[in-house]
Amino acid sequence: MVSTIGLALWLMATGCVAGYITALRRNIAIARKTGFPYYVYPIYPMNVIWQLTSGIWLPIIQCLPKSWWEGRIIPMLRDWSYTTNQAFFDWAGSETVLVVGPDDIVCHTQSADVISQVTTRREAFPKDIARYSLISMFGQNVVTTEGPIWRMHRKVTASSFNEKNAAHTYLEAIDQTRGMLSHWFGGEKRDNDSSETILTLEHDTMRWALNIIGYIGFGLRLIWPGQKLPDDPILAKYGQLEPAPGYTMSLASSLAGVMDHIVAILLIPAPVMKYLPFQFAKHGYTSRENWQKYMRDFLNDKIGEVRRGERERVGMDIMGGLVRSAYGEKPTTTVKLTDDEIISNAFIMILAGHETTANVMHFTLIQLATNPAAQRRLQQDVDALLGDTDPSTWEYESHVNALLASHVGAAVNETMRTMPPVTTIPKIVSASADQTITTNGVTHLMPSGLTINIVPASVHRNPRWWPTRPSEITGKPTDLEDWVPERWYRETNRDAATSTANADLDDGDDYGGFKGSDVSASLFRPVRGSFIPFSDGPRSCLGRRIAVVELVAALPVIFQRYSIELAVDEWATDDEVDRMGAEERRRLYAKAQKSARDTLSAAASIVTLKLRGQRVPVRLVKRGKERFVADPEL
Ligand code: HEM
Ligand SMILES: *[C@@H]1O[C@H](CO)[C@@H](O)[C@H](O)[C@H]1NC(C)=O
Ligand SMILES: *[C@@H]1O[C@H](CO)[C@@H](O)[C@H](O)[C@H]1NC(C)=O
């Protein structure tokens, strides 16, 4: 009896081992075909079991001799591309490396050459949409589909992303930034030289981006506490800070609640969530219920408006646009979106455009506070372009290109280079055929079905594609880890510029979205594939123009009249600072700068790259009343 069980167990174990070895050998054979270096792992690093338990294993592994795991362990770490920068690729001696496990293979690349080929050849390297199945929660949409269905969604949604709407977004971003400023200063009437210490900007930049996206997605004006709503029935219903009749939350807070608990909402079925005895589950569930009810109501109101032939609302209103394309008199497409698809697309715009843009705003403000010289240069450009004109008179057409080409645009670019909100862009080799990629004069076979992981945080700091100087902050041989907006005024690296990455790879088809350049010819132009915060090619970000317009509209509103300083409360009281001489203030500020840099370097990717519970406290001060950042020695 015992021996029978023993025999069965032995057979099972050897069966498992044999299966494991066969699978590993099959994957090794696939990896070898590519001609890129590959490394074999006992478990695939993106395996869920590893992801959940790596905290237990990593310390054990690190007790082994360093030479066994150093380098090799990197892709098994969370957020390795951001936190370890070039280390893995340097260790492997290649810009494109395969990681092979028994259960799967992934090809990581930080080669601008490879990236530009993969992103521009959409049919050969489609999006790995299996990973997005969760976020089609309300129906199919432009982010979660591929092939002809994606083209249909892209076509219908892209029509809202035009220059007319970019101009509306510009004005809305100015207004929302003024709302945020008055919130920081405790209401419209106050006239203090300095705000109180703002412990973290994260919540305010999130609200800022949410209010703008509410406008972009739904044509709604959302307000800051203390602001008054314009007189309008639709706004009265959806734009209030209080719940509309029949609801338990306002639209804005239900949306914020959905965003806060997005992972739980996507993973846990609603009926289960309803009865879970946790605060997050209750809040997540209620937010979702309110949100869905708002969306259905909103859709019906819009359909009513369209049926009654009411005039289009002014401003950008993606959902209104989708409703018109499906219910309007002259249908704009042969295939119509269903109600669920309309809601799903409106929702995905919020998901894609809210936190991404908020993070860039958040980190740019912190970096400007941390780098006073860059802040002063940005203020000079803002002064030269806008003087002391009132922001309510600023015009998209006359200002936006100049702002994009100024230190304002450079600061935004530099934040997206050093801290790209989206840290991995997953692609897959077409299921229908093997493909080839050419780099450094060698043609590589990419077997059908292989996952390709494009790593923005790495290629953005790859010295092969970016001109570098020794770091003035850390003393490292390159300054690519530092936030240096002046970099965007350096001369283009002509050597790199002649690589195949710069060949014209576009298929000439129109996928919508903004096609003009944000460039002025004299600026530094990254090699194609080396700067990809919005990805590239047909599946690149539809909201790229909108996002940069929001950011370059907002920063001048703040820096025309204010400066931003790191708060130093942790080390000194206001009275102590008042009594300090210049030298002592510099030493004090250096502590705050070091602390801010350390905090930023510990950012983590939770859907997007952001601070994990940490904060960088700051103060807004009237220009001329700075305690630190006006000091030319800083
Ligand atoms: C700084 C802000 C933003 C960044 C860094 C960003 C980044 C990206 C990236 C990397 C992708 C490609 C994702 C992939 O292939 O897996 C993407 C796609 C997309 N983004 Fe953005 N995004 C931003 C803002 C926005 C905004 C404001 C909107 C809308 C209002 C938006 C709408 C979209 C849409 C619809 C797609 C899917 C396009 C398609 O698959 O055809 N994004 N974005
Ligand atoms: C502005 O200054 C007044 C008077 O000094 C103070 O009571 C108030 O709290 C300050 N408000 C803010 C937002 O800093
Ligand atoms: C920011 O990057 C974009 C994309 O490469 C470029 O077109 C633009 O000119 C850059 N802005 C500045 C100020 O360099």
Between 42 and 458, residue with greater pLDDT: 458
Q: What is the mean pLDDT of residues 275-287?
A: 92
pTM of this prediction?
0.92
Question: What is the model's pLDDT at position 19?
Answer: 87
CA of 619 to the centre of ligand 2 (A): 13
Question: What is the model's pLDDT at position 168?
Answer: 92
Alpha-carbon distance of 234 to 220, in angstroms, equals 8
Alpha-carbon distance of 510 to 512, in angstroms, equals 6
Question: What is the model's pLDDT at position 94?
Answer: 96
What are the b/e assignments for 153-184, b being 16+ CB within 10 Å?
bbbbbbbbbeeebbbbbbbbbbbbbbbbbbbb
Domain at 152-354: CATH code: 1.10.630.10
Highest-confidence segment of 128-142, 300-314, 375-389: 375-389
Question: What is the model's pLDDT at position 16?
Answer: 83
Question: What is the model's pLDDT at position 134?
Answer: 64
Indicate which atom in ligand 3 lies nearest the CA of residue 404: 13
46-101 pLDDT, tens per residue?
Answer: 888 888 888 888 899 889 998 888 899 999 888 899 999 999 999 999 999 999 99
Domain spans of the chain, in order of start: 2-109, 152-354
156 C-beta closer than 6 A to ligand 1: no
**Coil, helix or strand at residue 96:** strand
CA of 74 to the centre of ligand 3 (A): 31
187 C-beta closer than 6 A to ligand 2: no
331-370 pLDDT, tens per residue?
Answer: 555 668 888 899 889 888 888 889 999 999 999 999 999 9
533-568 pLDDT, tens per residue?
Answer: 999 999 999 999 999 999 999 999 999 999 999 999
CA of 390 to the centre of ligand 2 (A): 24
| β-strand pairing of 451-454 with 105-109 | parallel
Out of 192, 618, 622, mutate this one to test ligand 2's pocket (max ligand atoms within 8 Å of CB): namely 192
- Mean predicted lDDT score pLDDT of the chain: 88
CA dihedral angle for residue 230, residue 235, residue 238, residue 239, rounded to 10 degrees: -20
CA of 535 to the centre of ligand 2 (A): 44
Contacts of 383 (CB under 8 A, 6+ apart): 560
Q: What is the mean pLDDT of residues 263-290?
A: 89
CA 469 to chain centre: 27
- Count of beta carbons in the 10 Å neighbourhood of residue 292: 17
210 C-beta closer than 6 A to ligand 1: no
**Coil, helix or strand at residue 617:** coil
CA of 182 to the centre of ligand 2 (A): 12
Highest-confidence segment of 68-72, 186-190, 312-316, 368-372: 368-372
Q: Where are the beta strands (DSSP E) in 88-231?
A: 96-100, 105-109
Amino acid letter, 447: P
Between 497 and 263, residue with greater pLDDT: 263
CA of 595 to the centre of ligand 3 (A): 29
CA of 325 to the centre of ligand 1 (A): 22
CA-nearest residue, atom 18 of ligand 1 = 541
Question: What is the model's pLDDT at position 517?
Answer: 58
127 C-beta closer than 6 A to ligand 1: yes
Whether 401 shows a pLDDT value over 80: the answer reads yes
Out of 184, 190, 193, mutate this one to test ligand 2's pocket (max ligand atoms within 8 Å of CB): namely 190
Out of 519, 530, 540, mutate this one to test ligand 3's pocket (max ligand atoms within 8 Å of CB): namely 519
Whether 497 shows a pLDDT value over 50: the answer reads no
CA-nearest residue, atom 12 of ligand 3 = 410
Query: Of 634, 615, 632, whose CA–CA distance to 200 is shortest?
Result: 615
Is there a binding annotation on residue 541? yes
217 C-beta closer than 6 A to ligand 1: no
Q: Which ligand is nearest to the CA of 517?
A: 3
Whether 1 shows a pLDDT value over 60: the answer reads no
Q: Which ligand is nearest to the CA of 185?
A: 2
The continuous run of DSSP H or E covering 421 comes out as: none
CA of 622 to the centre of ligand 2 (A): 14
Indicate which atom in ligand 1 lies nearest the CA of residue 217: 30
pLDDT tier at 498, thresholds 50, 70, 90: very low
CA 277 to chain centre: 32
Between 626 and 56, residue with greater pLDDT: 626
Question: What is the model's pLDDT at position 10?
Answer: 72
193 C-beta closer than 6 A to ligand 2: no
Indicate which atom in ligand 2 lies nearest the CA of residue 186: 13
For residue 99, which phi and psi values (nearest 5 degrees)?
-115, 120
212 C-beta closer than 6 A to ligand 1: no
- Count of beta carbons in the 10 Å neighbourhood of residue 489: 13
DSSP string computed for 433-450: --EEEEETTEEEEE-TT-
